[in-house]
Structure 1
Amino acid sequence: MTTPSFEASPTTDTATKVTALRTADDSGLVATPLPEPRLSWSLTGDRPGVLQHAYEVQVAADRSFTGAVSSGEVESGAVTDHPWPAGPLGSREVRHWRVRVRTDVGWTQWSQPARVEAALLDAGDWTARPVHVPSDRGRTSPGPVPLLRREFDLPAEPVSARLYVTSLGVHRTGVNGRPVSGELLEPGWTSYPNRLLYATYDVTGLLSPGRNALSAAVGDGWYRGHLTWHKNRDVYGDTSALLAQLEVTLADGGTVTVVTDDRWRGGYGGLLAADLYDGCARDLRQEPHGWRLPGFDDRDWERAAVLPLPAGLTQRAHPPVRVVQVIRPELSTLPDGTIAVDAGENVTGVLRLRADGPAGGTVTVRHAEVLDDDGRLLTGILRGARATDEYTLSGGTAELEPEFTFHGFRHAEIDASPGVTVEHVEVAVMAGDLRRIGEFHCSDDRVNALYANVVRSQRGNFLAVPTDCPQRDERLGWTGDIMAFAPTACATFDSRSFLDSWLTDLGIEQRPDGAVPLVIPDVDLGELPPMDLPFAGTTAGWGDAATVVPTALFDAYGHRSLLGRHYATMRAWVDFTAGRLDDDGTWSGNAQLGDWLDPAAPPEDPARATTDSAYVATAFVAHSARLLADAARELGRSDDAERYAELHRRTAEAAWRKWGGHARTTQTGCALALEFGIAPAAERAAVGESLAALVRANDGRIATGFLGTPFVLPALSGSGHTAEAYRLLLNTECPGWLYQVERGATTMWERWDAIRPDGTIDTEKAGTMLSFNHYAYGAVAAWLYGSVAGLRATSPGYRTIEIAPRPGSALTSASASIATPYGTVSVAWSVRGDTLTVDAELPPGTTGRFLPPEGLHSAQPVTGLGSGRHRLVLRG
């Protein structure tokens, strides 16, 4: 029985308001896939020290809340991830909900209501079936993009219309010639045999009484286009297809449903090819004029063929890919007449052009991240990706933009045939449209440039899945890259639903024995770099994304339900690694990628790092066991918590017993020993000093690869060696973060030394594994937030916060802010002489503590911080 609402409780906290009501669905779509949405909100108000002690949620069929179902008074100080108090939503059902909270003063007023509408929640709700153009089936190379259309009549004015749509491939769907959204590359990339995402759009305003047309172009995308450096095709199927269901309610009370079936017609147009790696080719002379509008003559088109309903249909719950920025690039003309384009920064996206010329005139656009020694595009490192868009004009002025593709580039070259003039060029930057939540700035512009590079690399690689790179014939969801970067990702952009979706596929693709594939979604990688031992198909650090990414999400956003949803995957991975431990308690039985791209590793064998890969693997077993134990404790699984805490202890002891001496000889070895709890408590100080000594001996140059880099700066500052941490950060010699900045980097590089000190590009040693947009080394930004600025969460979702700035080197100021689930928390500090001034602001519902730098103290002792603004002045 539902507890009744406490209407007798008067409003006594009039200064605090409940705002920003939201569910765990961040799609921005009109409907949600969640029958029992998890509920969150925020508090606003100027009164300092606001704390939530309890809440009440009401759910009703309309905004009057007559007959509302209530959660009753629920004791909780959290504003995130609360259960739906009413019965589950049925497909298409609409409900309204509102919240009030009891603070330290009393009850607030009710929030403004929020609306929630359910999508199609059951397979039985779909009367539509996927349809395709029969002549397109079995195509083994990029070819004409299929077009599909259907006309229908509406006998009265539409008052409500929902379009549920997805595709096998990527689609661009329209109603009466107008696009249903600005979203790109829908439905993204998932484990297609098990999970296919769809979107729900409100298309009421696109319809009218009388004749209407529903249409779509369906490109190959990830479903059947090229994948991996082997450029395999048809990985998931040998035809693209559209699945659409339009449900319309009319003013006279009638309904009309239009579904994809064999009444649809299919043909081809001017889009002659579209591939994610290769680009697109379009001949405007072949465009069937008006094919998206009612009245088009499609009698010569083919009758569509029907496919079975795909498994795992669910609505997308994370933000889509969109154009998130438009840049006006710098243009110049090369001696041969080619137009050279410089976007000013390395981006993921496409070029938009306006060109004028005769019918049959051509425009060709090629892309690259960097230029060669002759100032032309360096395309060899793109390997098999052509990254080329081609257009043939129909005569006159035309707006040109590729479809169903994207490129990673800073530079481009535009070749136009005689008589063709390119009149306008702009760069459309594409990315998953995640909300930016983090900011960082300091007094050193080089560090600011480094931070901006991190942001660009995340934006450019969070496209459908978290990829390694956006430019060459790869663009895969490598688990090791996101394992390294997840904490930074979660502080810079709101990555919760995006990575939650990716983790869902990780759980689906996880092997029965618990092994985690190297890339998610899992595709055949074929040959990998040479290994000295048989490769087991998974590797430490990469598979540990199964534990690290859910932990990062929980720490950043406080959603315990998310942790519970991925707990089985976390446990299966840890059990897999535990089952591979030798009799001495270490993992040395199969090949590892290890501290990949350690700068001392041979360029031709990036897995041969200076830190023993078996030590690294064993350390990660201990690390994931500890993360799993913490998750089990959060979820009330006390037996598991004890079991995996014991696994951490045993494995850490075994690793230290076997490799304690070796670990102290490398930066990665020391960092993992400190951050993973490998070094015994009595030896931690000595290990910290060993790490600091290694940094000093190496003149501040970094000596870590993908697995060591995220932990080396936290290990230094955590062991009291702030000076050495800053020396590592601010080093401008190769290898180092600022070395890349001073060489003109605008995104993070895959290799520390991708460009030599003399400015040339090392393609001889590195070969074609040379990306200039890889976010893994951008893990440094987590330390910028947490140690330089001094802003970090001490409980999930930033309910409690630590303000602990650590000024160092020549920095005279730094600031950071993060839009947390509770609101924006910020800190800014500046140094003048021997005085450190710290300004901090905490949002309502949170508390904090201030930890001053060593040797500084405040005239007024600081104990705890409540919500509101604080200024702290410290002197030595």
Structure 2
Amino acid sequence: MTVVKPAGPSFEHHHSGIGIQCARPRISWQYEPVKQHESVYDWSQTAYELEIVSTDETQASSYLHRVDGEESILVPWPAQCSALRSRECRRVRIRGYGRYKTSRAPDAACQEDRSEWSDWAVVEAGLLDASDWGEAVMITLSEPFQLNSDGSARPLTFRKCFESLEGTGSVTRARLYATSHGVYRATLNGSTVGDQGMSPGWQSFKKRLHYQVYDVTSLLLLGGPNTLTFDVGPGWYASALTWELTRFCYGKSLGLLARLEIDVEGLDETIVVCSDPSWRATTSSVLSSEIYGGETFDQARVSQIRKGSEEVLWRDTKRSDELVAPLTSPEAPPVRVTAHIPAVSITKARRSKHIIDFGQNIAGRVLVKHLLRPAGHQVTFRHAEVLTDGELETRPLREAHATDTIICDGTLLHNWHPLFTFHGFRYVEVDGWTPEDPETPLTTESIVAEVMHCDMERTGTFYCSNDEINRLHENAVGGMRSNFLSIPSECSSRDERLGWTGDINIFAPVATFLYDTVGMLRNWLEDLCADQMMDEHEHWQKGVVPLFVPCLPRHTPSLMPNGVWGDAAVMVPWQLFMQSGDVALLGRQYDSMKQYLEHGVRRGSDGLWHPEQWQFGDWLDPNAPVNDSGRGRTDGTFVADCYLVQSTKIVAMVAERLGNTAEARNFQSMSQDLLSAFQNKYITPCGLIVPDSPTALALAIAFDLTPSPQAAVSRLSRSLRTNDFRITTGFVGTAHLLHSLSKSNMTNLAYQMLLSKSVPSLLYPVRMGATTIWERWDAIKPDGTVNQGSMTSFNHHALGSCVSWLHEYAGGIKALSPGWKTFAVKPEINRALTWVEVGFESPYGRIESRWELDGDSFVMMVLVPPNTHALVSLPNGVEEQLDEQGGREKWFGSGRYRFEAVYTRADEEIEAILPPWGRAEY
């Protein structure tokens, strides 16, 4: 009897196996219950079979491979099966064998199961070696490179017409391999190639460059000539970047590298079209484009390019003089448009302009569905996140103009959007197009917002009985989406949009739960390693982790050793390992981790951070001066030292996992020495911690840094109560505050902090109308004015780190072993909520936990996926036991379970400690 069916398989961390940069990809799959057998329990794999079939008809072969064991995640490519060659395609399917029970009864007999075969999955290697590119070279315009009046690079259009395929058989396979110095869009015979945007993304372009692979079989013409065209804009390669607005950080000219391979029925040889000096180029219909500045589009130029003569319009190309870094296909999923947001309202602003409200802060672009205006007429779209007095508030953008312009040609324009840029916005100010226009009036139907980000699979969900908490969680989801566009950036609107290492270090537990980020962040970590070891800067100490990655060459402000930010080299890989179980990822990052601890930390005589090294610390603590965001209540060196001790512990565990026993002992000894130095430096004989701030106390509890945790807990509780449950933590403290309370059996206080109505508080931005996470807790003041600080983004995921508490404690699910092979279900409940539901698509399948509270009646429902085990615990306040021995926790195999009990705890509100005159106004 078949009770489960394998889903997948997938390869490495790709959901699509086409064009991967790996000759022996690891294979993963899940098991899903067959519908009529959903009551199956304790299903565990005992063996699996892989069938691998070559699709090359000249050497067709099939390979069947059986392995005994439970492993179904990242299993090795069979050693006896030949590796993939460049461009080679194989089909793979799997079948599992297992044991299961049809009853939860302890004495229920185990039964044997052999699953059906999975569906076939296709894996195809990309160009694995530099020689596979053949004659393709990076090309650019042969004449002097054109600049706009503001000094920005003029985008280019490259074109190649190649011979007709008429008279041959049908096209059986066609692949386009492409990349650029800049950002590109490809078209073949007038059809856009692929559905990606902003390719090839942002990498450390001096060290590596991504290429993309496209299946273009259906786009080729069998009769008539074929035309392959690329538009290339500056992108991250040549745009003005960082607050210093430095252009051409990686090179002085835009370029294109492409290889088209066409297999035709009846032809022995593959037809190849390569980028070389035979291609032609001209200036694009996009007159200007930069990441921060926006884009200008000349509608008339489109027909000029299409109809222009070869001699008059098109120019020669040449091989580019720019360095072409080693080429690799990305591990990250591509940037795509993942949603369309309709306009909520259009209101009139000053000087005949109009403001469109899309109702949600996003990263992306506008899509103009139809527009008809006279030739030469200009329509501009300026983007911002908030309004002041009904007008666009652009001060938080600093030097980012975030303005797109259409120069009309008198014909109808359909479905226009910028090609080479994106914006962070909720509001768009439109000039030159009004609701009164006779032909195509501006309406909520004529323009939409397109959400753009790396197209990662959504894995984590959370819902509860409190709408404000749900909105807080969705704000974290929206903030993450907006800041995972090619890299994990800190914001999507102003003149930064950089891969700040501290922000992702803090947010990684949430990111890896909400979305399948393993491929995307593995990809980014490659750039971290490259930049950590770069040798192009005279002030650079190898091993120091840049403040943001990719790090711009010769950008001195980012080349500063710093705790928390540097610790991303250790903690982000460890978080990815715990989510995915990918030991190879640790092996790949281990040298980077060691380099950070051995060379990337400026140490004092005690081995901790040197006290004269400036630190970001608990960045944007609400108590810090408005334009001195690192000078909060918690000493920055203290924060950095907490993370240094924890990172050293983690590296010891990594070394142990990798089998480096001697190094594991060395790092473990180092961590003990650092812990002793930390306690001597910061903890008094009576157990008090200096500094005595919520962030300091939360860190000491979270990282087990104090020998007297109860003293720290008592001080933390008093501090929160005397502050009337206001939030007083910045980026770092917020990530640990609620966790440290629940870890210390003070979940009621954690709930009270979560639900506090003080100003500011965790829910204060929600009550002020936020649709994403703000950079500051009080980015908008209670009177509605925008905070005057220069660090005032309204789509900045770092403070969203607090929602991991909702997953791990309110919902109660947490991995116990890497990859969620075993996990805990232990919700922390409180009468402030009547139900909570959390779900997670683990590597093994879906996990669910839901609890409901109706008076004293408590119900908990749990879903455990096949081939895993869950340690289920009843929450505090529930009187019943889970087994005959009176135990309150018990292991369960796969299946759907329901538990009913009586909840007796009162969950009374904790009183604030206030002065006699009562609460202070904010």
Q: Given the two structures, how large is their TM-score scaled by the length of structure 1?
A: 0.93
Q: Which amino acid aligns with 2:682?
A: W
C-alpha distance 48-363 of structure 1, shift in aligned 2 (>3 A): same
2-side partners of 1:631 and 1:412: how far apart? 48
Does 243-252 or 69-78 show the bigger shift?
Answer: 69-78
Kindly provide the CA deviation profile for residues 686-709 of structure 1, in whole angstroms up to 9, marking residues without a partner as x: 212221222112111122111221
1-side partners of 2:66 and 2:448: how far apart? 55
1-side partners of 2:381 and 2:144: how far apart? 27
> What is the aligned-residue identity percentage?
36
Superposed, 1:770-809 pairs within 5 Å as 770-809=792-831
* 2:383 corresponding residue in structure 1: 367
* 2:372 corresponding residue in structure 1: 356
Q: Which amino acid aligns with 2:191?
A: R
Does 254-263 or 51-60 show the bigger shift?
Answer: 51-60
1:99 aligned onto 2:128: no
Superposed, 1:431-830 pairs within 5 Å as 431-511=453-533, 513-523=542-552, 537-576=560-599, 580-583=603-606, 585=608, 587-660=610-683, 661-663=688-690, 665-680=692-707, 683-763=708-788, 766=789, 768-830=790-852
Deviation at 1:72, TM superposition (A): 4.2
Q: Given the two structures, how large is their TM-score scaled by the length of structure 2?
A: 0.89
2-side partners of 1:379 and 1:820: how far apart? 41
Q: Which amino acid aligns with 1:388?
A: T
Does 770-779 or 314-323 show the bigger shift?
Answer: 314-323
Kindly provide the CA deviation profile for residues 100-143 of structure 1, in whole angstroms up to 9, marking residues without a partner as x: 33323354444333221111100011120011123463737225
* 1:22 corresponding residue in structure 2: 10
Deviation at 1:578, TM superposition (A): 6.2
Kindly provide the CA deviation profile for residues 330-355 of structure 1, in whole angstroms up to 9, marking residues without a partner as x: 21223532221001011111122222
Deviation at 1:527, TM superposition (A): 7.6
On the 8 A contact 1:466/1:477 being kept in 2, the answer is yes
2-side partners of 1:817 and 1:485: how far apart? 19
Deviation at 1:76, TM superposition (A): 3.5
Task: Please provide the CA RMSD for this pair.
Answer: 2.2
Does 849-858 or 615-624 show the bigger shift?
Answer: 849-858
2-side partners of 1:21 and 1:779: how far apart? 32
On the 8 A contact 2:349/2:391 being kept in 1, the answer is no
Q: Which residue of 330, 339, 344 corresponds with 2:354?
A: 339
2-side partners of 1:577 and 1:145: how far apart? 39
Deviation at 1:220, TM superposition (A): 0.2
Q: Which amino acid aligns with 2:83?
A: P
Q: Which residue of 300, 318, 326 corresponds with 1:305?
A: 318
On the 8 A contact 1:265/1:298 being kept in 2, the answer is no
* 2:919 corresponding residue in structure 1: none
1:260 aligned onto 2:275: yes
Structure 2 counterpart SS, 1:377:
strand
C-alpha distance 73-676 of structure 1, shift in aligned 2 (>3 A): same
On the 8 A contact 1:138/1:238 being kept in 2, the answer is no
1:112 aligned onto 2:119: yes
On the 8 A contact 1:39/1:84 being kept in 2, the answer is no
Q: Which amino acid aligns with 1:827?
A: S
C-alpha distance 425-97 of structure 1, shift in aligned 2 (>3 A): closer
Deviation at 1:80, TM superposition (A): 3.4
C-alpha distance 821-334 of structure 1, shift in aligned 2 (>3 A): same
Does 669-678 or 711-720 show the bigger shift?
Answer: 669-678
Equivalent pairs counted in the alignment come to 850
Q: Which amino acid aligns with 2:41?
A: P
Q: Which residue of 201, 204, 210 corresponds with 1:191?
A: 204
* Structure 2, unaligned runs of 5 or more: 100-111, 534-540, 884-888, 905-922
On the 8 A contact 2:175/2:260 being kept in 1, the answer is yes
Q: Which residue of 833, 840, 843 corresponds with 2:865?
A: 843
* 2:138 corresponding residue in structure 1: 130
Q: Which amino acid aligns with 1:784?
A: L
Deviation at 1:53, TM superposition (A): 3.2
Q: Which residue of 364, 375, 386 corresponds with 2:401?
A: 386
Q: Which amino acid aligns with 1:872?
A: F
2-side partners of 1:184 and 1:854: how far apart? 49
2-side partners of 1:663 and 1:436: how far apart? 41
Kindly provide the CA deviation profile for residues 266-322 of structure 1, in whole angstroms up to 9, marking residues without a partner as x: 11243110111011111212223563x9x9746541111112672210112221111
Q: Which amino acid aligns with 2:807?
A: Y
* 2:427 corresponding residue in structure 1: 411
Does 383-392 or 308-317 show the bigger shift?
Answer: 308-317
1:51 aligned onto 2:44: yes
Deviation at 1:158, TM superposition (A): 2.0
C-alpha distance 527-516 of structure 1, shift in aligned 2 (>3 A): closer
Deviation at 1:586, TM superposition (A): 5.3
On the 8 A contact 1:37/1:84 being kept in 2, the answer is no
On the 8 A contact 2:689/2:697 being kept in 1, the answer is no
On the 8 A contact 2:547/2:566 being kept in 1, the answer is yes
* 2:412 corresponding residue in structure 1: 397
* 1:10 corresponding residue in structure 2: none
Q: Which residue of 61, 67, 70 corresponds with 1:73?
A: 67
2-side partners of 1:508 and 1:35: how far apart? 23
Kindly provide the CA deviation profile for residues 693-732 of structure 1, in whole angstroms up to 9, marking residues without a partner as x: 2211211112211122111111110011101111111123
Kindly provide the CA deviation profile for residues 427-465 of structure 1, in whole angstroms up to 9, marking residues without a partner as x: 111111111111100111000000010000000000010
Deviation at 1:358, TM superposition (A): 1.3
Deviation at 1:95, TM superposition (A): 2.0
Q: Which amino acid aligns with 2:28?
A: S
* 1:870 corresponding residue in structure 2: 897
Deviation at 1:81, TM superposition (A): 4.6
Deviation at 1:87, TM superposition (A): 3.0
Deviation at 1:29, TM superposition (A): 6.3
Deviation at 1:32, TM superposition (A): 1.4
Structure 1 counterpart SS, 2:763:
helix
